[in-house]
Structure 1
Amino acid sequence: MPLPAVAAPEPCGVPAFAPLRVRGGWGRFRLRRAMRRRRRALAAGLAVTAAALAAWGARAPVGAAPAPHGEPVAVRQHRPKPVEMVSAPVRIADAETVRLLRPGDRVDVIAAADSPTGAASDARVVATGARVAEVPRARETFPEAGGGALIVLSVPRPVAAALAGAGTTSRLAVTLC
Structure 2
Amino acid sequence: MFPSVPDTRPAPPAPCGVPSFGPLRVRGGGGQRLRRALRGQRRALAAGFALASAVLAASGSGGEKGAAAVAGGAPPGPERRAVRLVSAPVRIADAATVGLLRPGDRVDVIAAVDGDAEARVVARDVRVAEVPRGAGDAEVSFPEGGGAGAGSGALVVLSVERRTAAALAGAGAVGRLAVAVSHAE
Question: Partner amino acid for 1:105?
Answer: D
User: Is residue 170 of structure 1 aligned with residue 162 of structure 2?
Assistant: no
Alignment correspondent of 2:128: 132
Number of equivalences: 122
- Structure 1 Cα separation of the partners of residues 116 and 127 of structure 2: 28
- Structure 2 Cα separation of the partners of residues 165 and 39 of structure 1: 73
Alignment correspondent of 2:88: 88
Counterpart secondary structure, 2:23: helix
Given the two structures, how large is their TM-score scaled by the length of structure 1?
Answer: 0.52
Shift of 1:92: 0.6
Decide whether the 8 Å contact of 1:103 with 1:134 is kept in 2: yes
Question: Partner amino acid for 1:139?
Answer: A
Decide whether the 8 Å contact of 1:86 with 1:160 is kept in 2: yes
Give 1 or 2 for the bigger CA radius of gyration.
Answer: 1
Uncovered stretches (5+) of structure 2, i.e. residues with no partner: 1-18, 52-80, 143-151
Uncovered stretches (5+) of structure 1, i.e. residues with no partner: 1-22, 59-80
Decide whether the 8 Å contact of 2:87 with 2:160 is kept in 1: yes
Q: Give CA-to-partner distance per residue, 1:24-69, whole Å, 9 cap, x none.
A: 57523x2xx15x73574376368569969x6xxx9xxxxxxxxxxx
Counterpart secondary structure, 2:104: coil
- Structure 1 Cα separation of the partners of residues 162 and 82 of structure 2: 9
Given the two structures, how large is their TM-score scaled by the length of structure 2?
Answer: 0.50
Counterpart secondary structure, 2:87: strand
Distance change >3 Å, CA 124–CA 41, structure 1 → 2: same
Greater percentage in strand? 1
Alignment correspondent of 1:108: 108
- Identical pairs, percent: 55
